[in-house]
Structure 1
Amino acid sequence: MGFLWRWRVTLMATVVGVVAAVMRFATLGYPQALVFDEVFYARGAYSLITIGYEGEWGGENQDFAQGDFSQLTSEGDYVVHPNIGKLMIGWGMKMFGPTPYGWRFMAALVGVATVLMIAFIARQLLRSTLWGGVAGLFLALDGEHIVLSRTALLDIFLTFFVVAAFGLLVVDRHVTSRKIYADAARQRTALGLGATSLIPGGGPNTGIRWWRLASIVVFGLAVSVKWNGLYFAAAFLVLSVIWDWYDRNKAGYVKWFTGGFVRAIPAFLTTVVVIPLVYLASWIPWFRADKAWGRHWAEDNPGEGLTWLPDSLNSLVHYHEQMWTFHQGLDEPHNYESNPWGWPLQLRPTAFYFEDVTDVDCGAERCVSAIHAIGHPLLWWVGAAVLIYAIWRILRHRDMLALTVTAGYLAAWLPWLPLAHRTIFTFYTVTMAPFLVLMLVWAMQRIAKPERLGGRWWKPGVIMCVVYVGLVLIVAGFFTPIWIGEPIPYQYWRLHMWLPSWV
C-alpha cells in the first residue's frame, strides 16, 4: 500500500508540474519587449541588483528591452511598492541576464511552485490524491495565473507567498488537531468517560506551533511584496483560530471557546511583532543606499515627522505616508480599469500586450500577438456559482470545509469592493485563482461522492465531472495563444473575444 500511495502522489505531482511548467516556460522570452507594467518592475529589479536601489530611468521605456541599460541614473526613483517581489525578479536576471527570459524566470518558477502547492493543499483538505491533481491541473490551466506567471509583475509573487503561508497553516491544523483529539481520548480514559461524553476544560496546551510561526513569517514576505498581503494574513490567521475552536468543540471540550481564545493570544502578539519585523527587513537595500528616494528626508527636514524615531526610520515612515497618499489618490481613468464586482466573472480583463506581427507568417493577411490576462472562462464562471453554494453551506450547515476553501477567495476579493472608484485591474484576481480551484474541486467531490451515498461514487456525478474536466482542457487549448502571445490571425484573435467588454 505504501508503494501504491507513493506512486500515485508522484504521478500526480509529475503530471501537474509538467503541465504547469510547459504553460509557463514555453517561449517565455517572447515577446522581446516590456509587457504592460514590466516597465516598472523589470527595470526596478535591474536597478536593485545593479546599483543597490531603484534609480530613475531616462530615454524610451522599450530601450531596456533592446538591451540598452545606459538610461539608468543614480537619482533615486519614487516607487510605491516594497522590495521583495522586485528582488526576486532581479534574481532571475542574475542567473539568465537582463533579458525577457531573465526578468520573467522567477515569475514562472514561483508560478509552477504555486500550482504544485495547491495540488498538495487540495489533496490534504479533500483527503484525495485524485482531487489534488484536478486542483493542480485547473490552476496550471488558468489564464490569469498563466499570464502573471509569464510576466515580471508583483502579483504572482504575492500569490506564491499567500498560498505558501496558507499551506503552512493547513499543516499546522493537521498537527494540532491530532494533538487535540489524542488528548481528548486520554482525558476520557483517565476520567472514565464515554466516547461521546463532554470533557471538562478547554483542551490541551499545544505548545509552540512552529508551522503557524513559519506561516506568519511567510505572510510577512507577502506583505513585503504588496501591502494587500495583510488581508490574507488577517483572514487566514483568524481562520486558524476558528479551526482550533472547531476541533476543540468536536473533540468534546466544554470550554472549547476559552481554550482556543487563550491560545490565540500568543499567536496574535507574535503576528503583530513578526510581520512588521520581516517587512522592515525587506527594506534593507533602501537603508543601505544613500541615494535611494527619501532616504535622508528626516535629516533634510529637522523637527518634522516622528522625531522620536531614528532619522532613518523617520524617513521611512514619511516615505510610506507618501506611498499611502499615492494609492489613495489612484483614480485616473485607464482603458483596462475594472470594477471588482465583475471580477468573479472576469468581465473586464486586462490586455497586457497587442502588436501586429510582420515577421511571422501565421497564414493570414493580418497577424497579431496578443496577451490577455483572462481567467479560464469555464473555471471562473462556474466558480462564481460554486461560491454562492459554498456560502449557503457555511450559513446553513456550518460547513467548515466550505469556509476553508472560500476564505482565500473572499480575502482576495472583498477588500477591493469599497475601492471600486479607484484605478484597479482584473489581473489582481490572480490571488483569487488558487482558492477558486479549491472551491471547484470541493464542489466536484460533493457531486461525484454525494453525502447521501455515504461517500460512494455516484455515476452521473462522475460523468459530469469528467465532462467538465474535458471541456476545461479543450477551452484551455483554445485560449492558450492569447495567454502566451503566440502570433495568430487577427480573425482568430477576434474569436476569443467572447464578451464585448473583453475587446
Structure 2
Amino acid sequence: MVATEIEPARATPLRERLAPRVPGSMLWGWLGPLLVTVFAGFLRFDRLGNPHSIVFDETYYAKDAYALLRFGYEHSARDDPKGIADKLFLADTPGQIWTDGGSFIAHPPVGKWMIAIGEAIFGTTPFGWRFAAAFFGTLSVLILCRLARRMTGSTLLGCAAGFLMALDGLHLVLSRTALLDIFLMFWVLCGFACLVNDRDHARRTLSAKLDGDPDRSFGLGPYVFHPWRIAAGVCFGLATGVKWSGATFLFAFVIMVFLWDMGARRAAEVQFPYAGALAKDGVATVLSLGVLPVITYVATWSGWLFTSGGWGRGKVSPTVLLRPFEGLPDLWRYHERMYEFHSSLSTKHPYQSWPWDWPVLRRPVAFFYQESTTGCGASKCSREILGIGTPAVWWAAIAALLVMVFLYLVYRDWRAGSILLAYAAGWIPWFWYAASDRTMFMFYALPLLPFMCLAIVMALGMIIGPVAQPAGRRIVGSAIAGAYLLLVLINFWYLYPVLAAKSIPYDSWHMRMWMDSWV
C-alpha cells in the first residue's frame, strides 16, 4: 500500500520512458513522511478519550463493534429515551445492554470490526472505541505522503500532501470518533495506492521483457503479472465492506487500469496495444478487481455466516464448513433489505446537506456541543466537535481540481486524470441520491480528501516549477507554496478548539462560526 522505491542500476531508454525512477534519497523518502505521520498522530491521539461521552453516531457503531466481538454479529441493544444503554456502555458494563436477538444494520461489518480492535485492547471506553479511527487515520497520512511522492517525483510535495491531510479538520474529527467514514477513506486510499504501484510495476516488467527482444513491435506484447492489483482488489473489497459507496471507486478504477494497460503497451510500441491490454492484462483485471473484491466482501460477513442469532440468519448447519454456503441466500435477502433501507432513507435531519454543499463546506455536522459556566475563564463557555474540513484546504482544492482538468485536457497527464476520476467516483453518485431526497451528511465526502490533497500538491508543483527552471523562478514559487502551507496551518490552529472539544469562551466559539449554516 505504501509505494516502494524504484532504484534500477542502469535504466534503459524504454524503461525511463515507461516508468522513470522516483528521484531523491530513499532515506528522506521515508524519514520525511514518517515525521509528518508522527505529527498527525499526535494531533489524533492527544486527548482522544475527551469528551468522555458517546458522540453522535458512536452510540450505534461502538456498540455494534463490541457485539461483533462478543457474538460475531450485531446484537440488539436497549434503546430508551433516558440513555441507560449509553450510560452502561460508558461504565464499561456493556453486558447489561443487550436485548434478545440480532440487530438489523444498514452498513456491512468491516468498519465495526476495525473499531472492535480498540475495544478488544482497551475495553469499552471512549479511548478504546476511538483508537482504531485514530490509528488508521494516522496511517492514512503516511500512505498519502508516499503515494504523492511517487506520483509527483518529489519527497517535498509528498510530505506536503500528508501535511495537508494531517491538518484537515474533517479528517481530524473522523480520526477521533468511532464512525465508519475514516475506514472507508483508508481502504479507498490503500486501493488507489496499490493501483499506482501496480502501474509502475507493470511498466517496469513490460519494459524489461521488451528490452529482451530485438523487435519491440511483436503481436500483443508479453504477459505481465500484477501483484499490486491483487492487493488493490482486497482493499476495495474491504472498502465496500465498510460502506457500499466504496464500490463506486472500484468501478471507476477498473476503467482506469485498463486505460493504463492500453497506454503502456502503446507507449512501448506493441503492435496491437488495445488487443494486448485485453488479452494479456484483462483476465488479471477481472480476477483481481472483479472476482476478488466480491470474495473479500462476502468473507467480511463470516461472523454472521458462521454463527446463529444474527438478524435474518436462518437455521445454521451443524457442519461448520457448510454454513457459509447455506447462509448465502439469507445474506442475499439481508442485502435486499439493506438496499431498501438506503434507497428510502429520507428522514429530515438538522445537519443534513447535499453533495453540492460539500466542496464549499456549507453545512457541517455538530458531533458534540456543550455549554457551561466554568472551564474557560468566562461567564459562558462552549465545547464543540464540529465535523468540518479546513477551509484553506477544501476551498483551494476547488481551484486545484480545475487545474487538473486543464492538465488532463491539454497534456493528457495520467495523474490529473486519475485524480479527477477518483474525485468524480466519490462525489457524482451522490447526486443520484439527492434527486430522491436521501438524507446525506458532509462527512460522506471524506473519501474525496486524499484526491483533493493530491490535486493541491500537483498545483503547488506547477507553481514551484521544475528543476530546470531558473533559480529565481523556483524561489518565488517555493515562497508561494510555503505561504499557502503556512496559511493552512494557521487556519487549522484557529479552528482546532471547535474540532477537538476544547473549552473556550462562547464569544470565541461564535467567532469561529464563519457562516450561519455552521451553527
Q: 2:101 aligns with which of 35, 51, 75?
A: 75
Instruction: State the distance in 1 between where 2:487 and 2:377 align.
Output: 27
Taking only aligned residues, the RMSD between alpha carbons, in angstroms, comes to 2.2
CA shift, 1:98, in A, is: 0.5
The equivalent of 2:257 in structure 1 is 240
- Contact 1:220–1:278 (CA<8 Å) still a contact in 2? yes
CA shift, 1:297, in A, is: 8.1
Instruction: State the distance in 2 between where 1:219 and 1:248 align.
Output: 26
CA shift, 1:356, in A, is: 1.4
- Contact 1:298–1:315 (CA<8 Å) still a contact in 2? no
User: What secondary structure does 1:220 align onto?
Assistant: helix
- Contact 1:44–1:54 (CA<8 Å) still a contact in 2? yes
The equivalent of 2:59 in structure 1 is 39
The equivalent of 2:21 in structure 1 is none
Q: Aligned pair in 2 of structure 1 residues 455, 251: CA closer, same or farther (>3 Å)?
A: farther
CA shift, 1:432, in A, is: 0.8
Residue type of the alignment partner of 1:234: F
Instruction: State the distance in 1 between where 2:223 and 2:473 align.
Output: 40
The equivalent of 1:65 in structure 2 is 90
Q: Aligned pair in 2 of structure 1 residues 453, 250: CA closer, same or farther (>3 Å)?
A: farther
Residue type of the alignment partner of 1:55: H
CA shift, 1:450, in A, is: 5.6
Instruction: State the distance in 2 between where 1:46 and 1:316 align.
Output: 21
- Contact 1:53–1:76 (CA<8 Å) still a contact in 2? yes
1:339 aligns with 2:390: no
Instruction: State the distance in 2 between where 1:90 and 1:491 align.
Output: 39
Per-residue CA deviation, residues 335-380 of structure 1 (Å, 9 max, x unaligned), is 111110121112111111111135x521211111101111110110
Per-residue CA deviation, residues 127-178 of structure 1 (Å, 9 max, x unaligned), is 1111111011111111111111111011111111111111111111111111
1:357 aligns with 2:357: no
Q: 2:454 aligns with which of 429, 438, 443?
A: 438
Structure-2-length-normalised TM-score = 0.88
Instruction: State the distance in 1 between where 2:36 and 2:400 align.
Output: 23
1:29 aligns with 2:49: yes
CA shift, 1:452, in A, is: 9.0
Residue type of the alignment partner of 1:215: A
The equivalent of 1:483 in structure 2 is 499
User: What secondary structure does 2:369 align onto?
Assistant: strand
1:217 aligns with 2:234: yes
User: What secondary structure does 1:161 align onto?
Assistant: helix
CA shift, 1:457, in A, is: 5.4
Q: Aligned pair in 2 of structure 1 residues 428, 321: CA closer, same or farther (>3 Å)?
A: same
Instruction: State the distance in 1 between where 2:476 and 2:198 align.
Output: 36
Q: 1:383 aligns with which of 397, 400, 409?
A: 397
After superposition, residues 225-304 of structure 1 pair within 5 angstroms as 225-262=242-279, 263-296=281-314
CA shift, 1:24, in A, is: 0.6
> Mean Cα displacement is larger for which, 390-399 or 408-417?
390-399
Q: Aligned pair in 2 of structure 1 residues 348, 397: CA closer, same or farther (>3 Å)?
A: same
CA shift, 1:402, in A, is: 0.8
- Contact 1:449–1:455 (CA<8 Å) still a contact in 2? no
- Contact 1:449–1:456 (CA<8 Å) still a contact in 2? no
1:56 aligns with 2:81: no
Instruction: State the distance in 2 between where 1:454 and 1:298 align.
Output: 72
- Contact 1:405–1:442 (CA<8 Å) still a contact in 2? no
Residue type of the alignment partner of 1:37: D
> Mean Cα displacement is larger for which, 145-154 or 445-454?
445-454
The equivalent of 2:186 in structure 1 is 160
Residue type of the alignment partner of 1:350: V
The equivalent of 1:304 in structure 2 is none
Instruction: State the distance in 2 between where 1:298 and 1:317 align.
Output: 16
- Contact 2:464–2:478 (CA<8 Å) still a contact in 1? yes
Q: Aligned pair in 2 of structure 1 residues 11, 266: CA closer, same or farther (>3 Å)?
A: closer
Residue type of the alignment partner of 2:349: H
User: What secondary structure does 2:428 align onto?
Assistant: helix
The equivalent of 2:340 in structure 1 is 325
Residue type of the alignment partner of 2:222: P
User: What secondary structure does 1:345 align onto?
Assistant: coil
CA shift, 1:454, in A, is: 9.1
Instruction: State the distance in 1 between where 2:188 and 2:176 align.
Output: 19
Q: 2:127 aligns with which of 95, 98, 101?
A: 101
After superposition, residues 164-179 of structure 1 pair within 5 angstroms as 164-179=190-205
Per-residue CA deviation, residues 419-450 of structure 1 (Å, 9 max, x unaligned), is 11210110011111111101100110011116
Per-residue CA deviation, residues 461-499 of structure 1 (Å, 9 max, x unaligned), is 222111101111111111111111111111111111112
After superposition, residues 408-419 of structure 1 pair within 5 angstroms as 408-419=422-433
Residue type of the alignment partner of 1:97: G
User: What secondary structure does 1:344 align onto?
Assistant: coil
CA shift, 1:200, in A, is: 4.2
Q: 1:85 aligns with which of 99, 111, 116?
A: 111
How many pairs are equivalent?
482
Residue type of the alignment partner of 2:481: C
Residue type of the alignment partner of 1:373: G
CA shift, 1:201, in A, is: 3.0
Residue type of the alignment partner of 2:217: I
Instruction: State the distance in 2 between where 1:99 and 1:467 align.
Output: 41
The equivalent of 1:130 in structure 2 is 156
CA shift, 1:416, in A, is: 0.8
Q: Aligned pair in 2 of structure 1 residues 51, 310: CA closer, same or farther (>3 Å)?
A: closer
Residue type of the alignment partner of 1:67: D
CA shift, 1:451, in A, is: 9.7
Residue type of the alignment partner of 1:334: H
Q: 2:219 aligns with which of 201, 208, 221?
A: 201
Instruction: State the distance in 2 between where 1:150 and 1:254 align.
Output: 53
- Contact 1:115–1:136 (CA<8 Å) still a contact in 2? yes
Q: 1:371 aligns with which of 362, 385, 393?
A: 385
- Contact 1:298–1:314 (CA<8 Å) still a contact in 2? no
Unaligned runs of 5+ in 2: 1-6, 8-23, 318-323
Q: Aligned pair in 2 of structure 1 residues 391, 289: CA closer, same or farther (>3 Å)?
A: same
Q: Aligned pair in 2 of structure 1 residues 120, 18: CA closer, same or farther (>3 Å)?
A: same
CA shift, 1:311, in A, is: 4.9
The equivalent of 1:302 in structure 2 is none
Residue type of the alignment partner of 1:150: R
Q: Which runs of 4+ in 1 moved over 6 A?
A: none
The equivalent of 2:420 in structure 1 is 406
